């Protein structure tokens, strides 16, 4: 019986992914913005989020800062031995997506709102977006790569007046199962992002 339920759940998850088309994001806006030193001064952790959704331009800019390409085959963050062995997932009200940096697209994984699985702290339920940084936890550099990515996101948020908080209190097992994350990979850390509560 358990096997049957697991198979059905897997089929439904697969159906979700194929029922949705990839979301092509607008090109990241690489002009203007706050000077770096000022963004570093303004960078901080905040937890009082508005429920207002982030538009696709903001998502594109933020994800590019985290894990985009700024040169042919080279990322906005360094990775040891240029492994580039990390994935970024985006949890939103309309589903969960994997960021495809090369195509600058969100690849649908499931139409389920998985944000509650990332919400062991109540304030997270208000935020429109939670990012998951996924890599092989046995790779001694995985945490460093994730840290570089979430620092870039934090600086971007400071530049744009957004709030963010890096969080470890998530249901990793349930999220990994819902997202179909392979056994050798782990959710290293999460980062919740949104506009300030009014």
**Token pair recorded at residue 14:** 């697969």
What was the pLDDT predicted at 14? Answer: 47
Q: DSSP letter for 102, please.
A: T
**Enclosing domain of residue 142:** 2-194
The whole-number pLDDT of residue 81 equals 85
DSSP 132-152: EEEE-TTSTTHHHHHHHHHHH
Report the domain count for the chain.
1
- Percent of the chain topping pLDDT 70: 90
What CATH number does residue 32 fall under? 3.40.109.10
Summarised one tens digit per residue, pLDDT across range 82-99 is 888 999 999 999 999 999
- Please give the Cα distance from 33 to 155 (Å, whole number): 11
CB 101 within 8 A of CB 63: yes
What pLDDT does 90 receive?
99
* pTM of full prediction above 0.95: no
| CA-based nearest residue to 59, from 87, 19, 88, 33 | 88
pLDDT value, residue 13 = 52
């Amino acid at each position: 019986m358990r096997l049957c339920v697991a198979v059905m759940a897997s089929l439904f998850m697969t159906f979700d992914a194929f029922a949705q088309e990839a979301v092509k994001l607008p090109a990241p806006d690489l002009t203007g913005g706050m000077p770096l030193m000022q963004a570093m001064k303004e960078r901080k952790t905040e937890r009082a989020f508005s429920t207002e959704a982030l538009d696709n331009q903001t998502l594109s800019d933020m994800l590019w800062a985290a894990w985009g390409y700024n040169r042919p085959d080279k990322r906005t963050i360094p990775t040891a031995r240029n492994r580039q062995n990390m994935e970024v997932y985006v949890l939103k009200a309309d589903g969960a997506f994997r960021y495809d940096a090369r195509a600058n697209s969100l690849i649908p994984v499931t139409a389920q709102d998985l944000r509650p699985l990332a919400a062991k702290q109540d304030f997270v339920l208000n935020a429109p977006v939670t990012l998951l940084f996924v890599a092989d936890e046995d790779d001694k550099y995985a945490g460093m790569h994730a840290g570089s990515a979430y620092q870039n996101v934090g600086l971007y948020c400071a530049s744009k007046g957004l709030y963010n908080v890096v969080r470890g209190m998530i249901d990793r097992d349930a999220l990994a199962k819902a997202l179909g994350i392979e056994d050798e990979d782990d959710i290293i850390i999460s980062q919740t992002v949104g506009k300030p509560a009014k």
